[in-house]
Structure 1
């Protein structure tokens, strides 16, 4: 599995509240997570780091014959464990009151990818020249758009598009969206914070990710640069995962 992991503070923010991690476990399993923290007095970066650490700690060992249903259960449990950790720290420390974070995480096996998410950090899949968004934003604006109260074009530029309807760590209980999808050689996954998805279009993403002049690290760098060129209004985090079995066979 080829991976690239990039994060940039952007042009406006004083602190990078995004955190990300990619890890490789036994039995060919790849894990990845992006978390975009929120809260005053630098609580956002505390929340996102706690979430990433708790997620990673929850999935240190996996069974060799992990089924898709087991994988879905495990990623849900890991995210719920992270919610408990962040909520507990926020409850016990006044300076972290109401801190929280988005999270989008994947558990990737040879033929299946399982995605869990809360908030508006996104996962995209790139296959056969097409890009598809795999997660649905838990935002006020997305709810308005789904109900037909505003158009997709209005949603893209709505002044309250960053208002979340669901976040990790702000409540003792939270609902995690989990889904499983088939995975095949040549597929690519993009995980990102809204500092990327709010600044560049899916067409720009796809154009970069299909570039034959860039390796995976170069593609991640280019995506960050495009978001910076578009204004860099927020922290920008990009994780790319691509099955490299084809390249190995060719070599």
Structure 2
């Protein structure tokens, strides 16, 4: 049985531009953390559009009441995400830049799939290991951007940390996709940068499965950003 815990908070900001989705009612489970781009036009509209599109997909799937075919399901979800990207671009990018990061976890039987765009993350705790399954779509992670640059030069660059991909900022998008086999005891942790940027990874590894401790750690530094996370136990 899949169990989940979740939390989303505006932190010290006036508006929570994060949005989360979770549903485990049927033979397929879907989870999403979307982080609307702060400093841009209505990031909360972009993140909400993403989770609303997943919710609509899930409701339609429930109504069909059919046996899940995992490969077909993830293709369908990828199409939903591709379509909402185009929708956000068309609806909200006429008078300014509007977009959102997104990480999506899909689970069914003994399989999982992950979609991502931006710098929100999914971690996996398996046995003694704790690893990041997603890759941040940021400037410094493109090898062509940092050729012949020292670590100091990279970190001090004005481009450091800037997103190179997000949902809705361009008319087309190719999501990062990973698939894998589930093992008993796997724990997934989905979060936005408002969590991991304020908790050292060694500390996060110890407390990620404890919602209260995560909140305490982020609040300890004043919760400078919206922060949202979902814990999924398989």
What RMSD, in angstroms, separates the aligned Cα atoms of the two structures?
A: 2.5
Kindly state the Cα deviation for residue 38 of structure 1 after the two structures are TM-superposed.
Answer: 1.7
Asked if 1:229 corresponds to 2:202, the answer is: no
* TM-score with structure 1 setting the length: 0.81
Contact 2:11–2:223 under 8 Å retained in 1: yes
The equivalent residue for 2:18 is 18
* TM-score with structure 2 setting the length: 0.87
The equivalent residue for 1:249 is none
Asked if 1:84 corresponds to 2:83, the answer is: no
Kindly state the Cα deviation for residue 158 of structure 1 after the two structures are TM-superposed.
Answer: 6.9
Contact 1:110–1:184 under 8 Å retained in 2: no
Structure 2: unaligned runs, 5 residues or longer: none
Supply the distance in 2 between the matched residues of 1:30 and 1:155 (Cα, whole angstroms). 39
The equivalent residue for 1:100 is 99
Contact 1:108–1:114 under 8 Å retained in 2: yes
Supply the distance in 2 between the matched residues of 1:190 and 1:157 (Cα, whole angstroms). 30
Structure 1 residues 73 and 112: alpha-carbon distance in aligned structure 2, compared to 1, 3 A threshold: same
Supply the distance in 1 between the matched residues of 2:142 and 2:40 (Cα, whole angstroms). 29
How many equivalent residue pairs? 228
Contact 2:41–2:98 under 8 Å retained in 1: no
Deviations 1:97-151, CA, capped at 9 Å, x for gaps:
3110000001111211100010000000001121100000111132268757353
Bigger drift between 50-59 and 174-183 goes to 50-59
Structure 1 residues 123 and 65: alpha-carbon distance in aligned structure 2, compared to 1, 3 A threshold: same
